[in-house]
Amino acid sequence: MPDGTTGTGIGAAVKRVEDFRFLTGKGNYTDDLNRPGQSYAYILRSPHAHAKIKSIDTAAAKAAKGVLAVFTGEDMQVGSLPCGWQVHSKDGTPMHEPGHPPLAQGKVRYVGDQVAVVIADTYAQAKDAAEQINVDYEVLQSATTMDAALADKSLVHDEIGTNLCFDWEIGDESEVDAAIASAAHVTKIDLVNNRLVPNAMEPRAAVGEFDPATGEYTLYTTSQNPHVIRLLMGAFVLSIPEHKLRVVAPDVGGGFGSKIYHYAEEAIVTWAAPKVGRPIKWVAERAESFVSDAHGRDHISHAELALDKDGKFLALKVQTKANMGAYLSTFAPCVPTYLHATLLAGTYTTPVIHANVKAVFTNTVPVDAYRGAGRPEATYLIERIVDQAARETGIDKVEIRRRNFIPADAFPYQTPVALQYDSGDYEATLASATKIADVDGFAARKAEAAGRGKLRGMGFSTYLEACGIAPSAVVGSLGARAGLYESAEVRVHPTGSVTVFTGTHSHGQGHETTFAQLVSDRLGLPMENIEISHGDTNKVQFGMGTYGSRSLAVGGEALIRAVDKIIDKAKKIAAHVLEASAEDIEFKDGNFTVAGTDRSMAFGEVALTAYVPHNFPHDELEPGLDEKAFYDPANFTYPGGCHICEVEIDPDTGIVEVVNFTAVDDIGRVINPMIVEGQVHGGVAQGIGQALLEQAVYDENGQLMTGSFMDYTMPRADDLPSFNVATQSTLCAHNTLGVKGVGEVGAIGSPPAVINAVIDALWDKGVRDMSMPATPEKIWTALQAAE
Ligand code: MCN
């Protein structure tokens, strides 16, 4: 419920405070920064997927007008771009981890690989001069599909002797095989999870700067986690100690995962800045984003689901090939393993599960987390095979889900694939969604559509996700090379206004609003007295950043803990001034009151006392009112829910129209329902984009055929219906706010609902399968083939 005093507390649909600057064009993005004496970098990229660099002649480029410097891999001898997660193969051997130089050394491994950097007075000069660089390539055969790569005919990294990065498993295969052998029915499915290009609205950018007076480097960058970039780049690539490296991620126009990683361009501009003696700005052109931002998904899976005669799931076996691209991006190995296979129980009681994941190097752009990361892949697989099992056994698709749901009274629930879910009520989200989507009225709508010559279908997805990415001990045991806690500092100023420094980074999620709401709620302060600061390693104590829908559940909880420390100290100050004991001080609606009396002090008075300590408990307390907290949760959070999609297909053209989409999500306590709704809208739009429109396509020579918005179809407003969005929550059991994440639920839950709806619509015409993206051409072809 909205807080009684301020009306801006937990549960209030407060308008986003950051939107004023964004909507009036006053945002401050990396490309808006213009440092004194700034120069510009252009990165020359490989036109080949796989080639030896026999020589690079930079003489003409160096002599070109305005050029300050040209560097190649030979010049830039620094550390390798590191991978933050180590996976071990099932035989215990560590994954292959080939070096990843910021500028290619000896070989290029994908179209877009960085070959040289030109730095000039203007961007146009740098770009023009780059045309004069003469690279002598010996083009090699490339491995662009995973199957070609696994045949090891052409090695992406010669030194490791294979294109198999790791061969990992979870679960007991013999137990699963035995269950499958004795099952009444086994459903089998082959699935491709299409490769996606993230396409944040703001392309990546970086400005590197060096101050010779202090020896301090500054990197301004489009990042979701500036402290992580400081750590990775400082410690592993450029050997700059943290106290000499400041990383600032100012306003960032969307990331969707693609701005988590430490990219070569960040290291290049930082390393080169002292060499040219001027700040250096690099901004990606959109075409560069397509071939240099980490791509997402790209799984090929075979799955088998064993059922007993009543439709109860007995076992699930999954074999997945996951494309890593040419190099290991920062978190790539954890996506198909710990973010994918551990989720394969979904919302169901499947007692035994085995998954095998083969991660494969190919001559393509590195692949890493993209909104959902591993969990959309798992959800797509589970919800597709469950629907197929329903059709094969003749059990209704809703009924089969109900029969297998983890019951609401079974929490905490230990799955066979490591995770322990803390709370959920899948029957409740299903019931609510079924009602909102008017499932009962579907048959009539289908008949009416048929009268208009349209094929109408309805698809379900009763998904689960694991997010709020944390427990450091757990992720550490799973291969993370970092802890995944979060930190917050609450600085109360002498007049009682508050600045919060959070280690999370907001790039569209609205933390400046929701985090201020948390403080407003707890301290009874108006929103305008609270400022949320993030994204600058020189201001914020530390932070692991924003991804895995962790900011509220981990960062928000850290913030609450710091606020509670403020209240504790403030009570002691108030007790001293009011001549009472701290235990007798009550804090409510922004006032400290001696219980049972009318003696009280406002929050602002206590703050002033802390900084003007004329009457202060010096023996017990230090002056000032500024507290920090680090929070490392006990578990992930487990949002879940039900998405129902209704489509109409024109059989003459194959065009799919999403006519209705219902999302009922359990995200724990809701801090801001308007922001939550926006998060679900965005995620569902991306999920529908994956299901119907988007796919990164490479040709056999490793050229990206979908390298622009002319070929890569992003969803637009007129591709989407008005969504029906609701929440139906159970509280998270292990954080005090009771919150679960919401940032990815839309992208995770929706794709299988869409494809299940498409198959449902086409079923009577004899079509039995459909892959993503379900383009008009694919649908039309399938309809012709089925006739
Ligand atoms: N929230 C809430 N109540 C809840 C849960 C969340 O009010 N029960 C609010 C939070 O306070 C926050 C927002 O919803 O303002 C999202 O919170 P959370 O689920 O914690 O996710 P994060 O803030 O950690 O954001 C990361 C998540 C991810 S992983 C991707 S990818 C993604 C996403 O958020 N990328 C985005 N949403 C995005 N939205 C925009 N506009 N741009 C991106 O790049």
Q: Is the CB of 199 under 6 A from ligand 1?
A: no
Q: In the predicted model, what is the mean pLDDT of residues 286-312?
A: 98
Is the beta carbon of 505 within 6 A of some atom in ligand 1?
Answer: no
pLDDT at 470 over 90: no
pLDDT value, residue 3: 46
User: pLDDT for 302-311, tens place per residue?
Assistant: 999 999 999 9
**What's at 787, amino acid-wise?**
E
Regarding the beta carbon of 219 and ligand 1, being less than 6 Å apart is answered: no
- Whole-number pLDDT of residue 153: 82
CA of 744 to the centre of ligand 1 (A): 7
Å from CA of 590 to ligand 1 middle: 28
**pTM (2 d.p.):** 0.97
Distance of CA 763 to the CA centre of its chain: 34
Q: What pLDDT is stored for residue 430 in this prediction?
A: 98
Residue 198, ligand 1, Cβ within 6 A: no
Q: Is the CB of 194 under 6 A from ligand 1?
A: no
Tens of pLDDT, residues 94-109? 999 999 999 999 999 9
Kindly state if the Cβ of 672 falls inside 6 Å of ligand 1.
yes
The answer to whether the CB of 259 is under 6 A from ligand 1 is no
- Specify whether the CB–CB gap between 301 and 715 falls below 8 A: no
Evaluate: CB of 550 within 6 angstroms of ligand 1: yes
547 Cβ inside 6 Å of ligand 1 = yes
What pLDDT does 787 receive?
Answer: 78
Note the pLDDT of residue 467: 95
Pocket lining: 675 vs ligand 1, CB cutoff 6 Å: yes
Q: What is the pLDDT of residue 475?
A: 87
743 alpha carbon – ligand 1 mean position (Å): 4
Cα of 742 from ligand 1 centre, angstroms: 6
Query: Quick one: angle between helices 511-523 and 557-578, nearest 10?
Result: 30
* Residue among 771, 756, 228, 87 nearest 462 (CA): 756
Q: 289 phi and psi, to 5 degrees?
A: -55, -40
Task: Kindly state the average pLDDT of the residues 350-364.
Answer: 98
Mean pLDDT of 231-254: 97
pLDDT at 351 over 90: yes
Residue having the nearest C-alpha atom to atom 26 of ligand 1: 549
Rounded CA separation 306/180 (Å): 5
Using one digit for the tens of pLDDT, what is the confidence trace for 725-783? 999 999 999 999 999 999 999 999 999 999 999 999 999 999 999 999 999 999 999 99
Overall average pLDDT of the 25-54 stretch = 97
Q: pLDDT at residue 335 above 90?
A: yes
Residue 474: band (very low, low, confident or very high) from pLDDT cuts 50, 70, 90: confident
Ligand 1 atom nearest to 673, measured from its CA: 7
For residue 369, the ligand 1 atom closest to its alpha carbon is 31
State pLDDT tens for residues 481-520.
Answer: 888 999 999 999 999 999 999 999 999 999 999 999 999 9
Alpha carbon separation from 312 to 146, 309, 338 (Å, rounded): 34, 7, 26
User: Does the CB atom of residue 743 touch ligand 1 within 6 A?
Assistant: yes
What is the distance in A from the centroid of ligand 1 to the CA of 741? 7
- Give me the residue label for tokens 């994956």: 690
Cα distance between residue 709 and residue 641, in whole Å: 32
Calculate how far, in angstroms, residue 749's C-alpha sits from the geometric centre of ligand 1.
15
pLDDT at 4 over 70: no
Round the average pLDDT of the chain to a whole number and report it. Answer: 96
Lateral strand order in the sheet of 245-248: 67-72, 114-120, 39-45, 280-283, 205-211, 216-221, 245-248
Q: Is the CB of 252 under 6 A from ligand 1?
A: no
680 alpha carbon – ligand 1 mean position (Å) = 9
Query: Checking phi first, is residue 654 left (phi over 0); if not, alpha (psi -120 to 50) or beta?
Result: left
Dist. CA 457 → ligand 1 center (Å): 31
**Residue 283: closest CA among 263, 300, 298:** 263
Task: Tell which atom from ligand 1 comes closest to the C-alpha of 729.
Answer: 8
Expressed in angstroms and rounded, the spacing between residue 20 Cα and the centre of ligand 1 is: 19
Q: Cα separation of 193 and 321, whole Å? A: 10
**pLDDT recorded at residue 5:** 62
How far is ligand 1, taken at its centre, from the CA of residue 667, in Å?
Answer: 11
In this prediction, residues 631-659 reach a mean pLDDT of: 97
Q: How confident is the model at residue 380 (pLDDT cuts 50, 70, 90)?
A: very high
Atom 9 in ligand 1: residue holding the nearest Cα: 676
**How much of the chain exceeds pLDDT 70, in percent?**
99
Model confidence pLDDT, tens digit, residues 63-93: 999 999 999 999 999 999 999 999 999 999 9
Tell me what pLDDT residue 1 has: 38
- Give the whole-angstrom CA distance, residue 331 versus residue 260: 9
Q: Tell me if 254 CB under 6 Å of ligand 1.
A: yes
Q: What is the pLDDT of residue 357?
A: 98
Rounded mean pLDDT, 308-325: 98
What is the model's pLDDT at position 96?
98
What is the pLDDT, as a whole number, of residue 650? Answer: 98
- Of 705, 227, 204, 171, give the one whose Cα is nearest residue 501: 227
Percent of the chain with pLDDT over 90: 96
Q: What is the mean pLDDT of residues 565-585?
A: 97
What is the distance in A from the centroid of ligand 1 to the CA of 745? 10
- Rounded Cα distance between 232 and 228, Å, is 6
Report pLDDT for 6.
73
pLDDT greater than 90 at residue 386: yes
Q: 551 CA distance to ligand 1 centroid (A)?
A: 7
Q: What is the Cα gyration radius of the chain? A: 27
* Whether the predicted pLDDT of 2 surpasses 60: no
d(CA 481, CA 166): 17
